[in-house]
Structure 1
Amino acid sequence: MIKYIKVPTALVSGDCTQSSLRLEGGTVIESCIHSMGSSGTMFLEEHMLMMVLDGTVTLHYGKQTYVVGKHEMILLRKATVVSYEKEGNPDNADIFDSQMFCLKDELLKEFLTMQHVNIPRMTEEIRNTVNPMSDCLVAFAHSLKPYFNAPASVNPGLLKLKIMEMLYDVSECSKNIFRQILQLRQPVRTDIRQVVEQHYASPITLPELAYLSGRSLSSFKRDFQSTYNMPPAQWIREHRLSRAKEMLQNTAMSVSDVCYSLGFENPTHFSRIFKDHYGMPPSELLNKKSILN
């Protein structure tokens, strides 16, 4: 069963000691330390910078796979689905140690304003890469650890300064990530088909699809209509239902599992629109499959 863990709403599942620091406006810093492997699938509600302090995490992001090791980092764009496998360091009691910074657009805009950066027009997409952390960034990450022991007592003003410090250190450490930050403020226009067909089966909204395609919502709807000759909401619903039927017929997943893995609202809503589309509820399709088997 695939369950999407919404980040930052809920970040890690399994046996994991986790704590968080939260800044007004939604920015979240999560710290995860555990001594056994874990895996899962995240849906990123905000941009996320992941820093690995020990161990290794393998990320499956679209058609790409990235392995982020000790003292390395990667920046991932919001409104995307990322699968992960975390492995501890066998030379250090199998410890996996990471910090994940969920960054809202408003915070990035404020940082770039402070930097007095004139954002150039992006003509091509900057690719994700795994980047080494500088000594300053490693020291910064360790300087945050005491704050996780008593997050409620951390002054919000101090926390905001720490995040700005982190962004300055990142921009000095990695020119590629700094260019990615610039791109996050002005997404490159992407082919409608590529974006929609890659993400329609995840719990993603139309504004988020528009963002990923580098368009305003109105432009996205207009371009989608001209490409597919139907509104995006109708196309996505029909393709999710088609995928749901295929999963119910060919896997051992339950109705609820299929419902949530494809981003439907809840099993009741899913069953109603499935019946409207196929003339039978999904439970009846499962019963027919079990009789045939």
Structure 2
Amino acid sequence: MLSLFPDDNNSRIRPMPEDSFCIQYKNCTGCPRATENTLVYKNLPKGEHIPKDKCTQNCMLFMLKGELLINSEEYPGNTLHEKQFILQAIGSKIEILALTDVEYITFWFNELPLLCEDRYNEIKDQAEAPLTYTPLVMSERIHSLISSMPDFLNEKSPCSKYIELKCKELVFLITNFYPLPQLKTFFYPISTYTESFQYFVIQNYSKVKSVEEFAHLGGYTTTTFRRLFKNMYGIPVYEWILEKKREGILDDLQHTNMRITEICNRYGFDSLSHFAHFCKDSFGDTPRALRKKAANGEKIGKISD
């Protein structure tokens, strides 16, 4: 591209630098704010099928071109058209079939990047299930924003800080420029799926002996369950289970009359010796010694405390 502005020293026309989204930085791989797959551009040929699977994050899907058949509990057998968008909550299942050549953008998130928390809290507090879910239609401002993203996302190293800003702008346009009744139903699945998953976890973590068993109990593959759990709780599932078991064991030793054998069985240990080793590693002593200390008024807790 040529510049029409003269050189400082003479009036010769000189070439401008090669067009680029970012000419200041050449290597962004070490960026501490890098976000992986937050916004994803998809281009599917007619007939492409993505089998039903559970979402390991919340996901909004924005249609740019074509017709896409969606099959989920919220949108059973619905066809999405250009400018329409939907929300699938973390833990929900979705299946996709391209009825034509299609282009769409997916926005993946654990928590919404908010510019206006008060507005979203108002939506969340009044969220309610509709009789039937209906896709929202992009406003011109949202469509302009979404349409501008594919070229940038196809860059070799799209800037994560720029993506973060665009996500905040996108959420702001959705939460502040649609009527509250539409938004109350649109965002309802986030709360209901989150609550149901957390209920499942709390009700069953003490019954399982491994992450694989935990995943199978909920109907998940182990990989999907690990990712879903990490996105929702912020730590790996095995670490969370161990921490909860430690909390429960300490509480039972101090505040109940349960026999040591009962506590051992309650938290899924194969034997009393295994349980004793766990207590020594976690609390510095055997279960019986810990209970005796607690009965004498001594404080017992994790070794790291």
- TM-score, normalisation: structure 1: 0.51
SS at 1:67's partner residue? strand
Q: Superposed, which structure 2 residues align to 1:38-77 within 5 Å? A: 38-41=48-51, 42-62=53-73, 64-77=76-89
Decide which of 102, 111, 114 is 2:108's aligned counterpart: 102
Indicate conservation of the 8 Å contact 1:24/1:156, yes or no. Answer: yes
Instruction: State how 1:175-190 maps to structure 2 within 5 Å.
Output: 175=180, 178-179=183-184, 183=188, 187-188=191-192
The residue aligned with 1:277 is none
Q: Could you tell me which residue of structure 1 aligns to residue 98 of structure 2?
A: 86
Aligned residue type for 2:221 = G
Q: Alpha-carbon deviation of 1:182?
A: 5.2
Task: Name the structure 2 match of 1:263.
Answer: 221
How many residue pairs were aligned? 185
Percent of residue pairs identical: 10
Alignment of 1:1-293 (within 5 A): 24=34, 26=36, 28-41=38-51, 42-62=53-73, 64-88=76-100, 95-105=101-111, 108=112, 110-113=114-117, 115=119, 117-118=121-122, 121-122=125-126, 124-126=128-130, 128-152=133-157, 154-171=158-175, 172-173=177-178, 175=180, 178-179=183-184, 183=188, 187-188=191-192, 211-213=194-196, 215-216=198-199, 219-221=202-204, 237=216, 263=221
- The verdict on how the C-alpha distance between 1:28 and 1:58 changes in structure 2, with shifts beyond 3 A counting, is same
Deviations 1:156-175 (A, max 9, x none): 22211111111122221464
Superposed displacement of residue 264, structure 1: 5.8
- Contact 1:213–1:220 (CA under 8 A) maintained in structure 2: no
For residues 213 and 81 of structure 1, the distance between their equivalents in structure 2, rounded to whole angstroms, comes to: 14
Equivalent residues of 1:55, 1:69 under 8 A apart: yes
For 1:100, give the aligned amino acid: T
- Name the CA shift for 1:155/1:120 in 2 (closer, same or farther; >3 Å): closer
Q: Deviations 1:137-183 (Å, cap 9, x if unpaired)?
A: 2111111122123141x332221111111112222146456335754
* Cα distance change on mapping 1:176 and 1:144 into 2, 3 Å: farther
1:225-278 Cα deviation digits (max 9, x unpaired):
9xxxxxxx97985797xxxxxxxxxxxxxxxxxxxxx7367xxxxxxxxxxxxx
- For the structure 1 residues 168 and 141, does the alpha-carbon distance in structure 2 shift closer, same or farther, using more than 3 Å as the test? same
Contact 2:113 2:168 in 1 (8 A): no
Verify the 8 A CA contact 2:71 2:77 in the aligned structure 1: yes
CA distance, structure 2, for counterparts of residue 215 and residue 264 of structure 1: 17
Distance 1:161 1:264 in 2: 33
Counterpart residue number, 1:17:
none
SS of the counterpart of 2:77?
strand
**Deviation of 1:78 (Å):** 1.1
Please give the TM-score of this superposition, normalised by the length of structure 2: 0.49
The answer (yes or no) to whether the contact 1:131–1:174 under 8 Å persists in 2 is no
Q: Going by fraction, where is strand more abundant, 1 or 2?
A: 1
Kept after mapping to 2: 8 A contact 1:56/1:86: yes
- Tell me, which stretches of 5 or more residues in structure 1 are unaligned? 1-22, 89-94, 189-208, 226-232, 241-261, 266-293
- Between the aligned partners of 1:176 and 1:67, the Cα distance in structure 2 is 23
Q: Give the counterpart letter for 2:99 in structure 1.
A: E
Amino acid at match of 1:54: K
Could you tell me how far 1:52 is from its partner in structure 2?
0.9
- Cα deviation for residue 129 of structure 1 reads 2.2
Do the aligned residues in 2 keep the contact of 1:76 with 1:128 (CA within 8 Å)? no
**Is the 1:58–1:84 contact (alpha carbons within 8 Å) kept by the matching residues of 2?**
yes
Asked if the contact 2:133–2:186 (Cα under 8 Å) also holds between the matched residues in 1, the reply is: no
